């Protein structure tokens, strides 16, 4: 949406994003969701490595952040708390839509990985399973699907 809007005119990205969030989720929640997205965008430094996920085979062994020092957390817990608080205020069709679920699961994963030093736990595995379903990635290349061990693959 943002890129399409930039082709249309030079409207600020933040305005386009707020309008989209208001339409897709709820007008009253748009500003808070925009703040959550800003936090999530800063959390790209979390990584885990193939040897630490039993049963997950990644074909590519290229990890540019390997060995990088942890960065300060910009608010993963706050982002997830905001998403949990907003979820019940949304209309059911917005709360169950794949766009909301992607943001919600992203916030959940950031908070859980922060709490576990970057190592996925059971809640992460459940989120990965839901993402595989949303992405229709049951049979995708392991490098392209969420890192869920084959023994816990979604139905």
Tell me: the pLDDT tens digits for 6-45? 667 777 888 888 999 999 999 999 999 999 998 988 876 5
pLDDT at 136: 93
CB 33 within 8 A of CB 87: no
Q: Which residue has the tokens 């699961």?
A: 105
Mean pLDDT of 111-129: 88
Distance of CA 28 to CAs 21, 79, 153, Å?
Answer: 10, 17, 37
Confidence of residue 117 (pLDDT cuts 50, 70, 90): confident
Residue 78 has pLDDT above 60, yes or no: yes
Confidence of residue 56 (pLDDT cuts 50, 70, 90): low
Residue 72 has pLDDT above 70, yes or no: no
Q: Which strand (E) or helix (H) includes residue 8?
A: helix 2-8
Mean pLDDT of 52-61: 51
Helix (H, G, I), strand (E, B) or coil at 4: helix
User: Per the structure block, which two tokens stand in for 110?
Assistant: 């950031």
Half-sphere exposure of 148 (CA within 13 A, CB side): 24
């Amino acid at each position: 949406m943002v890129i399409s809007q930039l082709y249309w005119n030079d409207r600020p990205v933040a305005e386009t994003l707020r309008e989209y969030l208001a339409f897709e989720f709820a007008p009253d929640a748009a500003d808070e969701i925009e703040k959550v997205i800003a936090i999530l965008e800063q959390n790209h430094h979390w990584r885990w490595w193939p040897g630490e996920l039993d049963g997950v085979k990644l074909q590519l062994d290229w990890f540019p952040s390997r060995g990088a020092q942890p960065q300060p957390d910009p608010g993963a817990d706050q982002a997830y708390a905001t998403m949990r608080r907003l979820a019940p205020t949304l209309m059911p069709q917005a709360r169950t839509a794949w766009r909301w679920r992607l943001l919600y699961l992203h916030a959940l994963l950031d908070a859980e990985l922060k709490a576990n030093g970057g190592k996925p736990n059971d809640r992460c595995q459940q989120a990965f399973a839901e993402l595989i379903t949303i992405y229709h990635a049951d049979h995708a290349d392991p490098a392209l699907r969420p890192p869920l061990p084959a023994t816990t693959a979604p139905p």
